[in-house]
Amino acid sequence: VVSGGPQATFTGQVAWRATVPAQSPLAETRVSMGPGRHVVSYPLRDGSMMNLVAVEERAAWAEEGWQQSGDPEQLRAVFGDFGGPVGPLLDRVTQVGVWGLFRHPVAERWVRGNVALLGDAAHPTLPFLAQGANLALEDAWVLAQCLCNGTVQSEYQRLRRGRAVRVIDAAGRNARKYHLREGPVRSAAHFALGLGSRLAPGQMIRQFEWIYGHDVTQP
Ligand SMILES: Cc1cc2nc3c(=O)[nH]c(=O)nc-3n(C[C@H](O)[C@H](O)[C@H](O)COP(=O)(O)OP(=O)(O)OC[C@H]3O[C@@H](n4cnc5c(N)ncnc54)[C@H](O)[C@@H]3O)c2cc1C
């Protein structure tokens, strides 16, 4: 064992995932929000397919295993009140998987003897900034550099753990923003998010510059 630690805990959220044929080649990436739920849709395969990730809050995840196949009719029932382009996308779902989303803290220790952790083994993240695979690739680059320099024991975890914690905390906060319940706080937050993305899309992106602009290959 490189790093012990607590068991993963259920976050109270499940993610439905499906791919459907796109209807328009101009398909765009979109986040649609509702109380306790949100739907992310984005194009795949040069816009010929759309990927759907629909997250809802649930009291418990009782099924065995962390992934189950779901019922498209149930998906449509849960998200049926979403307007805009979500409805037509859901109508085209014929197969869907559903995942319980679990939280596990970032490992305290990443290296023991000749074994080093990277990616999800060191820091599983919730999917709300789409950074899990990216963090794993960044780890791999830094670990390779440390192997070349003979500095795995002293440098690898030091160079990577802080960033992993920061990104994962930001992903957790995003879920809370998206899922705000009815009320003035939700109205104000969603109004600001919607207005911001329409009037100043550059500003919306810039707040994540520290994530998306980070180039781990640069010293
Ligand atoms: C539903 C969902 C949606 C996601 N969406 C995104 C996204 O949009 N963007 C993004 O960046 N990330 C996303 N991720 C996260 C991303 O998939 C992971 O962060 C990434 O795959 C982690 O890479 P990894 O190499 O650390 O682990 P993995 O990809 O899990 O690879 C570990 C491998 O080890 C193998 N293995 C396990 N045990 C053993 C063993 N004993 N012997 C041999 N092999 C073994 C496994 O079979 C697996 O192939 C998503 C994850 C999920 C579950």
Q: What is the pLDDT of residues 8-18, one digit of tens each?
A: 889 899 999 99
Instruction: Give the model's pLDDT for residue 31.
Output: 87
Q: How do the residues of the chain divide into helix, strand and coil, expressed in percent and rounded to 5?
A: 40, 25, 35
Portion of the chain with pLDDT greater than 70, in percent: 84
Q: How far is the CA of 136 from the centre of ligand 1 (A)?
A: 9
Instruction: Give the model's pLDDT for residue 205.
Output: 67
Of the listed ranges 80-89, 148-157, 176-185, 201-210, the one predicted with least confidence:
176-185
- Confidence at 199, pLDDT banded by 50, 70, 90: low
In one-letter notation, the amino acid at residue 91 is: D
Instruction: Give the model's pLDDT for residue 84.
Output: 85
Q: How far is the CA of 124 from the centre of ligand 1 (A)?
A: 9
Query: Taking residues 154-181, what's their average pLDDT?
Result: 87
How far apart CA 101 and CA 149 sit, in angstroms, is 37
Higher pLDDT, 64 or 129: 129
Ligand 1, atom 24: nearest CA belongs to which residue? 119
Task: Kindly report, as residue ranges, where domains of CATH 3.30.9.30 are found in the chain.
Answer: 9-103
Query: Taking residues 62-66, what's their average pLDDT?
Result: 67
- Ligand 1: residues with CB < 6 A are 15, 17, 99, 119-121, 127, 130-134, 136
Q: Which of 69, 106, 120, 123 to mutate to test the pocket of ligand 1 (most atoms within 8 A of CB)?
A: 120
Mean per-residue pLDDT of the chain: 86
Q: How far is the CA of 83 from the centre of ligand 1 (A)?
A: 33
Q: How far is the CA of 26 from the centre of ligand 1 (A)?
A: 30
pLDDT at 175 over 80: no
In sign, the C-alpha dihedral spanning 151, 219, 107, 132 is: negative
Instruction: Give the model's pLDDT for residue 119.
Output: 97
Architecture of 9-103 per CATH?
2-Layer Sandwich (3.30)
In sign, the C-alpha dihedral spanning 131, 133, 134, 139 is: positive
In the set 42, 156, 178, 212, the catalytic residue is: 42
Portion of the chain with pLDDT greater than 90, in percent: 55
pLDDT tens, 17-60?
999 998 776 668 888 888 889 999 999 998 889 999 999 998 88
Ligand 1, atom 31: nearest CA belongs to which residue? 120
The yes-or-no answer on residue 42 being catalytic is: yes
